[in-house]
């Protein structure tokens, strides 16, 4: 099963954050050694602009999937926290790039520290305020955790779909039974009319005949008596 597109974009944005931090560190090193950081500054401006766009896309896509109930509310809240952390790191990176630094610049060793044994994935140093369940995990571990959450959600959705399908079939069966009963009632009504209509006609004809014959019989009786 393919990974959630939102998580893929989030991972790419995290890598971009780390790349920008490393480039800022390199730009500052060039400034200290009296190098020419102009090219690096152009690269950083483009990267910071792309970071802002990525964060906006993550926010908008999260709003869409949460509004359509495609993910659970707890997962939506967790992702919103990740987006908020990215916004904070974006502000810090912009401040560092512009020289308005309110905290010591992280060294390259700090940026690359925390490599996990599994796959050697480096922990993103800019997401130090991420949720407790993902704190200290590398990208590989976070992906596995997120994949497990998605699989659990998919299993729940499959179970719900199965229940809905059974209810739909039950509704169809009930509808079919009602149609059969209505047809049976209609057939009984038709057969009843066909059976009783001749009898009613004969009865009515007999009554009419008696009414027509009775005066003559009455007159004949009187003549006989005379």
Angle between helices 38-67 and 73-98 (to 10 degrees): 160
Q: What angle do CA 84, 22, 45 make, to 5 degrees?
A: 70
Q: Distance between CA atoms of 117 and 47, rounded to whole angstroms? A: 30
7 contacts 143 by C-beta, under 8 angstroms? yes
Helix/strand/coil percent split, the chain, to 5? 80, 0, 20
Distances in Å between the Cα of 83 and the Cα atoms of 44, 56, 87, 150 are: 21, 9, 6, 18
Mean pLDDT on 126-130: 48
What rounded mean pLDDT belongs to the chain? 73
Say which residue, 121 or 55, is predicted with more confidence: 55
* Architecture in CATH for domain 5-147: Up-down Bundle (1.20)
For the chain, which residues make up each domain, given as ranges?
A: 5-147
Considering 56-60, 72-76, 210-214, the range whose residues carry the highest mean pLDDT is 56-60
Q: The whole model's pTM is what? A: 0.46
Say which residue, 103 or 70, is predicted with more confidence: 70
- pLDDT tens digits, one per residue of 85-117: 999 999 999 999 887 544 444 444 444 443 343
pLDDT in the model for residue 164: 64
Look at the chain and count its residues: 226
């Amino acid at each position: 099963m393919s990974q959630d597109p939102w998580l893929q974009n989030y991972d790419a944005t995290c890598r971009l954050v780390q790349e920008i931090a490393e480039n800022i560190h390199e730009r500052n090193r060039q400034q200290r050694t009296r190098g020419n950081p102009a090219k690096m500054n152009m690269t950083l401006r483009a990267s910071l602009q792309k970071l802002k766009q990525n964060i906006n896309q993550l926010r908008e896509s999260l709003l869409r999937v949460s509004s359509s109930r495609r993910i659970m509310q707890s997962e939506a809240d967790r992702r919103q926290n990740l987006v908020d952390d990215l916004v904070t790191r974006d502000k810090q990176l912009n401040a560092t790039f512009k020289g308005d630094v309110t905290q010591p610049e992280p060294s390259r060793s700090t940026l690359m520290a925390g490599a996990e044994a599994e796959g050697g994935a480096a922990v993103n140093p800019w997401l130090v305020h991420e949720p407790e369940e993902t704190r200290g995990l590398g990208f590989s571990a976070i992906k596995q955790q997120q994949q497990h959450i998605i699989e659990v959600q998919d299993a729940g959705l499959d179970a719900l779909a199965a229940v809905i399908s059974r209810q739909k079939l039950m509704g169809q069966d009930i509808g079919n039974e009602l149609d059969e009963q209505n047809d049976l009632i209609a057939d009984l009504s038709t057969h009843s009319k066909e059976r009783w209509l001749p009898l009613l006609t004969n009865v009515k004809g007999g009554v009419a005949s008696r009414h027509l014959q009775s005066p003559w019989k009455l007159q004949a009786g009187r003549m006989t008596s005379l």
